[in-house]
Amino acid sequence: MTELSRDFYNYSYDELVETLQKDFGLTKFRATQLFEWVYRKGVTDFDLMTNLGRELREQLAASFVFPKARMHDRQVSVDGTRKYLFEVDGGDLVEAVMIKQVSRMTLCVSSQVGCAMACAFCRTGTMGLKRSLSTSEILRQVNGVIEDAKNFGDSFSNIVFMGMGEPLHNFDGVTRAVRNLTNPIGYALSPRKVTVSTSGLVPQIRKLAESKVPVSLAVSLNATTDEVRTQVMPVNKRWPIKELLEAVRQFPDGPRKKVTMEYVMLGGLNDTQDDMKRLVSLMRGLPVKVNLIPYNDNAGLGFKTPAREWVFTWQKHLNDHGIQAFIRWSKGADIAAACGQLATESRQKRAAAPSRLPVLGNEPQAAV
């Protein structure tokens, strides 16, 4: 990165403090002012940062850039869910989804272009991994959605790293983004409202716990036996269920809430009566709640969606045995916006399609 092109969104607060001290001889107070302008007030034009002297403003303007979100496409579902396609550096595309729920909206962002984990039921997994996103590329998805949400008069209250990619396989890029999202002078979201979801990278779960990054954790369990889990999630060969649940048991709660265990129900494969009972024994005594996710068949990967009634039977069984369970019915079915459906076409195909939407302004206003 040259002196002229430092991407502001790639800095955590602590890193900005350090760089301002080292390269500009500035105090910590200046980093605080900059964070407040950019993330709290949504101002990225140094000329408007009136509490900084003119000379300093010019110096900073010559050093920092604020790349805008590049929205390539946006689709709106009949249920109010919106799917965004953002272009990241180098022309790759990633998806973000605004999921409409009863009384809130949740923003689901991508952490990588594609994914290396190759889960059999997930479309992103069929792409393989192209690369991890930078912190700026992650935050630009947030900025782009905040900007566009003005057209709908809404905003999001929660952010989940459940789009394309395995967030803990992009540990630094993701945790730095989380720090800015939860920093009171950043996006100021409660750590309870920012969730990182992992397919079960045990060492990274432990590292996340040790790093004390303020974030909530979700783990995709998706099976109750190693045999079935390995069949659908190759990561299980490396870190089987027992080791994974041990890392979950040790994940500190403190200010963080319970760990969410995600369970994609694949009809006839991992949703038998025996699985239901085994799940209860596996979850017993763990600081968790369970999200049941009926398989989204739109992924077109040959699995079956369980019957609605059967999903309710599972929820009731878990609840009756003292395990909090919720059902995540898919949203945005008409625009293929749900879990596991996110994937982008090849660059060649895409090159033929003109960009339908303009580049957005770069005012990352404080998220609610």
Kindly list the residues in this chain that would bind ligand SAH in the complex (CB under 6 A): 121-122, 162, 166, 197-199, 220, 222, 262, 264, 293, 295-296, 299, 339-340
Spatial distance between the Cα atoms of 164 and 133, rounded to a whole number of angstroms = 10
Select from ligand SF4, ligand SAH, none the partner in contact with residue 87, using the beta carbon and a kind-dependent cut-off of 5 to 8 Å: none
- Residue 166 binds ligand SF4, judged by CB under 6 A: yes
From 95, 147, 166, 262, the catalytic residue: 95
Residue 194 or 343 having the CB closest to ligand SF4: 343
Q: Which amino acid is at 165?
A: G
Select from ligand SF4, ligand SAH, none the partner in contact with residue 265, using the beta carbon and a kind-dependent cut-off of 5 to 8 Å: none
Q: Which residues, numbered 89-118, are part of the site for ligand SF4 (CB under 6 A)?
A: 115, 117-118
Picking from 269, 283, 274, 293, the residue whose alpha carbon sits closest to that of residue 319 is 283
The structure tokens 């945790």 sit at: 175
164 alpha-carbon distance from chain centroid: 8
Contact pick of 134, 170, 199, 204 for ligand SF4 (by CB under 6 A): 199
Number of residues that bind ligand SF4 (CB under 6 A): 11
Q: Which two tokens stand for residue 336?
A: 């293929």
Spatial distance between the Cα atoms of 308 and 155, rounded to a whole number of angstroms = 30
First CA to last CA distance, the chain:
32
- Residue 124 binds ligand SF4, judged by CB under 6 A: yes
Beta strand extents in 5-81 (DSSP E only): 6-7, 64-65, 70-76
Minimum Å distance from CB 308 to ligand SAH?
15
Element counts in the chain: helices (H) and strands (E): 13, 14
Minimum Å distance from CB 158 to ligand SAH?
14
DSSP SS3 for 139: helix
Minimum Å distance from CB 264 to ligand SAH?
4
**291: enclosing H helix or E strand:** strand 288-294
Select from ligand SF4, ligand SAH, none the partner in contact with residue 20, using the beta carbon and a kind-dependent cut-off of 5 to 8 Å: none
Picking from 206, 136, 199, 144, the residue whose alpha carbon sits closest to that of residue 173 is 136
Annotation says 95 is catalytic? yes
Residue 122 or 280 having the CB closest to ligand SF4: 122
Minimum Å distance from CB 299 to ligand SAH?
4
Spatial distance between the Cα atoms of 338 and 316, rounded to a whole number of angstroms = 24
Residue 125 or 306 having the CB closest to ligand SF4: 125
Minimum Å distance from CB 238 to ligand SF4?
13
DSSP SS3 for 316: helix
Select from ligand SAH, ligand SF4, none the partner in contact with residue 182, using the beta carbon and a kind-dependent cut-off of 5 to 8 Å: none
Q: Which amino acid is at 219?
A: V
Interface with ligand SF4 by CB under 6 A: which residues? 115, 117-119, 122, 124-125, 165-166, 199, 220
Q: Which residues are catalytic?
A: 95, 339
